[in-house]
Every structure is written in structure tokens, then in C-alpha cells.
A and B are shown apart, each in its own frame.
Chain A
């Protein structure tokens, strides 16, 4: 029994030539017997009646869709052919330049076929661009920082209401379906889905998983403030829900600083109905470090923890002074290192101090144990991020090596998309230069990178260890070694 579909769309004008094209395409879709898509002019309505479509006289400004097909499925098929045909006509028009000169769009919303917008404009302009993207149906990765929290809340509310997500603001790292956004490591496909409120924290976990032979589905960044009481985990909840539904994701990992109590409750209750394991990797004092967390994740999928690779010989290293100095480009791993170090060594001065009274001006000389996060907002004003440009860190390295109170230096080197294309040579020549001046302070490198990163993990490690630096892929290991060298020096 043939099915008939007649639909009137008031005011939906299309020109007659386009409509002929569309009608022809619908009529030739499988199972469709007759199809007319036309404006409701008297002529067209007569034509439809001759084909046995019965309809009242519509307005000439109404678009009429009339389809007869063998069954309902064929009608639905015909309608989707129609939608595709209209969209291909629109696409043809939008990409027509007339003279071949197409200027690039001036706002993300005008990139009509984009699914996602990666926005890294200055913070004051970021909100308008992000709203525009959401209105155009694009999810957003908001790399920009200095976005006020009220704007973040509006963006995230709006995104949830449209079934979209805002990753950020101040989101440095994400991997969506293998595509690295911002500072992201090259990862293999695998069963782990990550939600991360911390960029370098996520990179440490991504890199270690990769070195254990384990891949990920996605790493969804949410921005450092997402689990604050004000933002109330809006993006985290959307990300967890999406990973819960994603068939390829077997284990969900949330990497974050400890959230506000009510937010933690909110997140836990949202995960209670999820049948997949959810691992909370909370950073900070009293929590396991990222290496231990990664080992726990491996446990949930029954993968044996490997020996984390390192390059260099610890036994040959001797601290040259009493104090530990940390020169970091990644905020979260700097924080992780300070938590471990403070536990053993006590007060650690820093521009991102664990306690307010340990605050230290990063441009002033180091005092006792001092850690500097060179990626902190205040240090990147008018300057590229230290993962891209290591000039400041290398200057500081020279100073610390010349300082007799400095016993051991710990640094991170972050690889992956977006980062310095070849960081090791500049760093190793700075170390050699210091050695030439008789400065022998040991340098411990926490090398955050996966086996597939474009810089070449092993090559970077070998260049650095070639000048006597000790290199390890685990930040926790790196800091523990540095601490033990300091302690050995004190004991002797």
C-alpha cells in the first residue's frame, strides 16, 4: 500500500530551478514513486493534483513537499534526500566566489561547515567569538585565558542547552578522536576516556598511558575553573555524559584539582549510574601523584605497569648545594612536584605557592628551595608560552647553575603538538656551556612526551642525557630523585 506525504512549509521560498533539481533527486530515491517539491503556485498545485496529490490551495509563498512511495521508510528516505539536496545547493552557493577570490571568514560562526571552534584570541575578545561559535552549532575549545567567570558560566550554560561543550577557558590540551588540540601529545586509539581540568596534568597521563601501550578515545579539556563552586562542573558533567555514551570508551578518568565539596558530590552522583569504571585523579596534597594514578588506571583494564623509561645514571649524580630549584613550563606538574618536595623538604618558595606565605617573586633570586612556573599568566604577558619559547627558562638555568646554594635543578620538557619543535638542543647546549665553566649542578628532566610525538621522545631524551642530564618520563620519579640527591648531600 503506497504511502503519501504532503507537507506545507509557509514562507520557505526556493527558486524554481533549484526545486526542479531537488524534485528530481527525491523522485529517484529508492522506493519513491512520485515526488514534487515546489512553491504553491496554481500551476504547481494543478501539477500535483494531476499526480493524485490532494491538497487545498496553498499560498504561492508556501513550499509544498509531496511524495508518494512504497512505504513509510521510503518516504523518510526521500525526505532526507531532499534535505541533503538543499544543503548541497546552499554549500555550492556559500563557496561560490564568482571570481575565484574567497576571503577567509571573519568570525568562527561564518565557517559554516565547522564542528568545533579552537579559539585562542585575547581574553577580552574570546567571549563574543565563543558565543558566536555556539550559536552556529559548534562546540568550543577556548584556549584563551583572562575570561571572567561570569562569561564562563554563560558560555557553559548556553552550550549545555544546545547539546554542545565549551572546553575552557584557559584550556591548553584536548584530544578529540585522535586530533590533538592546543598542546597535545600524539596518542594511540584505546579504551580510556579522559576529562581534564588541567592541561599538563592530562599530558602526563596521556604520555604515561602511551608508554604503557594504552591508548585513549578522547581527552576532553574543561578548563581549570570548571570544578569550582561557581562553575559547578558544567563542562565536566557534559564530558562525562558524552564519554559514558561513547561505545569505545571503557574507563573514564577525571583529572582535576580537588573540587569544591558540593561540586564533588554533584560529579559523584552523576557518575553513579554509569556502568563503566570512573577513576578520579585528584591532584594536590594527600592525593596520589599522576604516575600512581596512571598505574591505577592501568589496573582497571588489567594492564601490567611497565618500568617507566629513564636515561642517565643516578649513581653518578651528586648535589652541589643544599637546595632544590624547579624551573617548570607546566603549571600542574610544577604543582605536583612541589607537593612531593614539600612533603620531604618543607617550605618551597614559588610564584604559584602551595601556601600563601611561601609566595616568591619569580624574577627575584631563588631563596632556599624555589620552584618557578614559567607558564603562569603573569610571566607570559607579551611573551610566548615557555613550551614554545624557552629563552627565559634557559637564562634562569644559567643563573641557578652558577649559584653555589643550588644543589639540584629539576625541569620539565613537554613534547607534542603545539610545543617547541625541537627543545632538547637549546637546553643541552646551555647545560654544556655551564659545564665548561665548571658548574656541575645535576639537571633532572621530567620529559613529558609520547612515543609518537613529532619531536621524537627518544631522540630528545638522548640529546639531554648526552650532556649529563638525568631524564625520566615520570614527573614524580624525577622529583623523587632530585629530593634524594638533596637529602644525600645533607647527610654527607
Chain B
């Protein structure tokens, strides 16, 4: 009695209907339980490519595999090292957020951060000299993602900066992220004044080495390395969404590391200053969430036929997306200006287009995708609580599955929506929801607000064409 999975013996048929309402009405008239689909035509111009990708027999299995790998990836904090050692970053080579970018096309905050990085590394002593060096090709730069690293906002990484090093024990992959500088005027928002450079120097001389000592002590203790993935799962149940709110995560991290900081043998005053610095910055843990998310999406890379997004990143000019089935190819479109709330008297006119690698959080199923878990921030980014619930629920339409270890309490612990499927974005027209900070468009201004943003549809239109070309030819 197993032919057609028992369809003919089912006395309790449930039917999904898409299309002509009259046909659905005819079923309702027969008192058959139906689920009416709110169907829309695919994004214009993409239907043919979409059909080819849908016809690729590898896709469904590849996407399930990608999801399984993303869910199996761990993230242990195994070291804190300088970028020159951790990433082999040569003198005169910088990393930045988003897809590749030239100086000519770089936005204000990206230029500001590159200027600051040049001064911080001692290559130039002032902004004017730094600009000459940068605009004349005196520095090489490439995306953080090209080295398996991630950087928030401008994401500028220079060789002497300290990086968190995270290990995924399942795959052996490693990912890196710089240390978070705090809020206000900071390099990642394009500020490069004296106070910014001074803070970076303190981080290089005091905070970085101290964190390294503490992390090493912790690793050698019976407790073993700090499990960033485990903190991430807990913080989702404590009102954080892991992108714009990392308060609970930061405190849990500090709780885990504090004993080893104290016992590190460093001067009490340095320990106290460092603890105050980390505890006083609600976003400190963002720079650990990001590489943990990167490890998840790295695990899903390069699966033939897979339409799962493995990178979403912005450089302040372009939004770039990478997809598992097409490897390292970037699909880009113009970065949009977020919609949200502004600090002080700043307005939309002061805001730079979307910037930063932090959309890796949404790529891995947190941030905007877990908005329903973080009602405390919805007003800050200009929304309401029902908006937040609707945003998370909408993301289930474009993801392959759910991460049950990140249960969202208000949704009866339904796992957060995970693994963005390009075909579902193209079919439904629903774009990934990203929570983000907003940088001022003028170099040096810093943060001007926070809000919501989407990738441009062009990224997904490009990706579906790329996947179609990589699909076996049929028809």
C-alpha cells in the first residue's frame, strides 16, 4: 500500500493551491483543507535561468548537504594573533570588507579606514600623505573574505592588528576577525583622528597580548577553548540577534574569559582596563559571532549544484554575494542606504551606502533572520515587534532549513531560518533581511545610525545566471 506514498488511500487529503483562485474555491466548497499559496511570478528576466537551476538534479541534495554542514560546524576560540602571523599579511597589504574595490570607487568611510590603517601602520604620518600613497597604488588591498577573514563595517585589517582565530573542529577550517574597537569614532566607521589611532595602538600593545595570554590559559584549562557557537545559541534566547545586539553574548564571553584574564599575570590595571573596555562595549562579541558564522558558511562552500549563499558582504559601494555552487565568484550590485534611526541630528543624507562583512551573520541565519528573538532592538532599527516576528517568518520562505540549536522562544523555539537559497529569493522576490549599523558618508564622521537594509536583487539575478551556466544542459 505504498504506491504514491499512500495518496489513494488517504482519506484526509491536504492540498496546497497555487494559481487560479477559482480552483482553490472549488476545493473549499468540498470542505477540503487547503493551504492557499501567495504565489508571485519570479523576478523578471530570471525565469529561464531559474528553470535550468530547478532542473539541476544535484540541487536539492546539494542544498540539504550545505545545510547539514552549516549546522554541524563548530567555532572554538583557539588563539589571538596578529594579522601578519595569522593571515600572512605582508607589510603594505590591507584587507577590507565586501567585494573587491578600487580607491576611485571607494566610499568615504572605506577611504577613511584605509587612511587610518596607513597612519596606524606608520606608513604615513598624516592623512594627506596617506591619501597620496593609497591613491597611487602604494598599498595593496583585498577582501577579508579572500583570506577566510571577516571585518565589520569598513573591515580594514592591517598587518599589526590582533585577530581572533576560530577553529571549526568538524572541518578543521579556521576563520579570523579583528578586535572590536567600541562605538563612536572608530576606524571601522571610517574615523581616523588621533583618538582613533591611539585606541588602536592601545589595543595592539595591551589588549591584544593580554587576550592572547588569557585565551591560551583557557585552552590549556580543563574547560578547553571557549565555544563561541554555544554562546551564540544561548544569546539568541537572551534577546540578542547576533548582529545589532550582542549584549548578552558579550557578557557571557567576559564571564568565561575573566578568570583567565585575572590569572594571566598581567598588571591589575591592564586587566581592569581591558575588562572595562570589553564589558563597556555591547558589540565586543560581534567580532566573535562573525567568524563563527563565517566558519558555518565556509563549511558549505564549493558543493556542485548548490544554490546556497555562502557570503553576503558590502564594501560601502557594492553589495557582493557568493554562492556555494559557483565557488569564489562575486555577484554584485549597488549597495543600498539602510532605513532606520539616526543618532543626534544626522539624517539619511549623512548616511553611507551599506558597508561591512557583518552580513555574514544573516548568511548563517542570525542577525536580521533572528529578529524575532530580539524584540528589544526593533525600535532602535526603526521597527515594531510584529515587524520583527514577520521578518523572521518571512526568512523561512527563502532558506533551506532551520537551526534547531538556535530556537527562537517567541516562535515556540522554532529554529532560526538558515541557508539562503538563491532559487527561493528569485522565485518569491523576498530579499534577505539585514540589520546593520550606518556609517557617515564623509570619512572621519563615524556611526550615524542603525537600521534595516536588503541586498540589491541584482546580486541574486547574477547568481541565478551563474548557477544556470554551471548546471548540466537539458531541454
Cβ contact of B3, chosen from A98, A101, A241, cutoff 8 A: A241
Cβ contact of A106, chosen from B20, B40, B385, B407, cutoff 8 A: B40
Given contacts A15-B413, A96-B411, A127-B55, whether A164 and B16 have CB atoms under 8 Å apart is no
- Whether, in the assembled complex, B394 has its beta carbon less than 8 Å from a beta carbon of chain A, the answer is yes
- Whether, in the assembled complex, A94 has its beta carbon less than 8 Å from a beta carbon of chain B, the answer is yes
A129 to B50 alpha-carbon distance, docked (Å): 11
Distance in angstroms from A170 CB to nearest chain B CB is: 13
A242 to B10 alpha-carbon distance, docked (Å): 13
Distance in angstroms from A348 CB to nearest chain B CB is: 32
Distance in angstroms from B461 CB to nearest chain A CB is: 15
A238 to B32 alpha-carbon distance, docked (Å): 24
A91-115 to B contact mask, C-beta < 8 Å, 1/0: 0111011110111111110110111
The stretch of B21-29, B129-137, B271-279, B335-343 that contacts the partner chain: B21-29
A153-189 to B contact mask, C-beta < 8 Å, 1/0: 0100010000111000000000011011110000000
Given contacts A114-B16, A150-B475, whether A98 and B37 have CB atoms under 8 Å apart is no
B65-79 to A contact mask, C-beta < 8 Å, 1/0: 000100110000000
- Whether, in the assembled complex, B138 has its beta carbon less than 8 Å from a beta carbon of chain A, the answer is no
Given contacts A124-B47, A418-B23, whether A119 and B18 have CB atoms under 8 Å apart is yes
The stretch of B154-162, B313-321, B424-432 that contacts the partner chain: B424-432
- Whether, in the assembled complex, A194 has its beta carbon less than 8 Å from a beta carbon of chain B, the answer is no
Cβ contact of B55, chosen from A107, A111, A154, A388, cutoff 8 A: A154
Residues of chain A lying within 8 A (CB to CB) of residue B68:
11
- Whether, in the assembled complex, B372 has its beta carbon less than 8 Å from a beta carbon of chain A, the answer is yes
A181 to B139 alpha-carbon distance, docked (Å): 67
- Whether, in the assembled complex, A135 has its beta carbon less than 8 Å from a beta carbon of chain B, the answer is yes
A17-46 to B contact mask, C-beta < 8 Å, 1/0: 110000000000000000000000000000
B26-73, CB < 8 A from A: 26-27, 29-30, 32, 35-42, 47, 50-51, 54-55, 57, 60, 68, 71-72
Residues of chain B lying within 8 A (CB to CB) of residue A132:
54, 427
Residues of chain B lying within 8 A (CB to CB) of residue A120:
17-20, 23
Asked if B397 and A106 make an inter-chain contact with CB atoms under 8 angstroms apart, the answer reads yes
Q: Looking across the interface, which residue of chain A has its beta carbon closest to that of B15?
A: A116
- Whether, in the assembled complex, B223 has its beta carbon less than 8 Å from a beta carbon of chain A, the answer is no
Asked if B39 and A121 make an inter-chain contact with CB atoms under 8 angstroms apart, the answer reads yes
- Whether, in the assembled complex, A122 has its beta carbon less than 8 Å from a beta carbon of chain B, the answer is yes
Distance in angstroms from A413 CB to nearest chain B CB is: 17
A158 to B42 alpha-carbon distance, docked (Å): 22
Instruction: Count residues of B near A (Cβ-Cβ below 8 Å).
Output: 69
A114 to B32 alpha-carbon distance, docked (Å): 11
- Whether, in the assembled complex, A341 has its beta carbon less than 8 Å from a beta carbon of chain B, the answer is no
Residues of chain B lying within 8 A (CB to CB) of residue A138:
16
Asked if B413 and A103 make an inter-chain contact with CB atoms under 8 angstroms apart, the answer reads no
A456 to B5 alpha-carbon distance, docked (Å): 35
Asked if B38 and A104 make an inter-chain contact with CB atoms under 8 angstroms apart, the answer reads yes
**Which of A121, A125, A158 has the largest count of B CB atoms less than 10 A from its CB?**
A125
Distance in angstroms from B463 CB to nearest chain A CB is: 15
Residues of chain A lying within 8 A (CB to CB) of residue B221:
none
- Whether, in the assembled complex, A143 has its beta carbon less than 8 Å from a beta carbon of chain B, the answer is yes
Asked if B27 and A218 make an inter-chain contact with CB atoms under 8 angstroms apart, the answer reads no
Residues of chain A lying within 8 A (CB to CB) of residue B55:
127, 131, 151, 154
Interface size class of A (residues with CB under 8 A): 35 or more
Given contacts A124-B47, A127-B54, A127-B55, whether A114 and B14 have CB atoms under 8 Å apart is yes
A307 to B374 alpha-carbon distance, docked (Å): 72
Distance in angstroms from A432 CB to nearest chain B CB is: 28
Asked if A165 and B4 make an inter-chain contact with CB atoms under 8 angstroms apart, the answer reads yes
Given contacts A107-B427, A121-B39, A165-B7, whether A150 and B474 have CB atoms under 8 Å apart is yes
- Whether, in the assembled complex, A133 has its beta carbon less than 8 Å from a beta carbon of chain B, the answer is yes
Q: Looking across the interface, which residue of chain B has its beta carbon closest to that of A17?
A: B413
Residues of chain B lying within 8 A (CB to CB) of residue A119:
17-19
Asked if A115 and B414 make an inter-chain contact with CB atoms under 8 angstroms apart, the answer reads no
Residues of chain B lying within 8 A (CB to CB) of residue A115:
5, 7, 10, 13-15
Given contacts A135-B60, A238-B4, whether A179 and B20 have CB atoms under 8 Å apart is no
A182 to B427 alpha-carbon distance, docked (Å): 24
Residues of chain A lying within 8 A (CB to CB) of residue B424:
107
- Whether, in the assembled complex, B344 has its beta carbon less than 8 Å from a beta carbon of chain A, the answer is no
Asked if A164 and B410 make an inter-chain contact with CB atoms under 8 angstroms apart, the answer reads no
B149-177, CB < 8 A from A: none
Asked if B16 and A179 make an inter-chain contact with CB atoms under 8 angstroms apart, the answer reads no
Asked if A93 and B413 make an inter-chain contact with CB atoms under 8 angstroms apart, the answer reads yes
Asked if B412 and A96 make an inter-chain contact with CB atoms under 8 angstroms apart, the answer reads yes
A selection of 20 A-B contacts at a CB cut-off of 8 Å is A96-B411, A96-B414, A97-B393, A105-B38, A107-B397, A107-B427, A111-B35, A113-B35, A117-B15, A119-B17, A119-B18, A120-B18, A129-B18, A148-B475, A151-B51, A163-B5, A177-B8, A181-B23, A182-B23, A418-B26
Given contacts A108-B16, A118-B27, A121-B18, 16 further A-B contacts (CB under 8 A): A98-B411, A105-B35, A110-B396, A118-B24, A124-B41, A128-B54, A129-B39, A137-B5, A151-B475, A163-B2, A163-B5, A176-B7, A181-B15, A242-B7, A388-B22, A417-B30
**Measuring CB to CB, which residues of chain B are less than 8 angstroms from any residue of chain A?**
1-5, 7-11, 13-20, 22-24, 26-27, 29-30, 32, 35-42, 47, 50-51, 54-55, 57, 60, 68, 71-72, 372, 385-386, 389-390, 393-394, 396-397, 404-405, 407, 410-415, 423-424, 427-428, 430, 474-475
The 3 lowest CB-CB distance pairs between A and B, nearest first, are: A120-B19, A150-B475, A93-B414
**Measuring CB to CB, which residues of chain A are less than 8 angstroms from any residue of chain B?**
11, 13-15, 17-18, 92-94, 96-99, 101-108, 110-111, 113-122, 124-125, 127-129, 131-133, 135, 137-139, 143-144, 148, 150-151, 154, 158, 163-165, 176-177, 179-182, 217-218, 238, 241-243, 245-246, 388, 417-418, 454
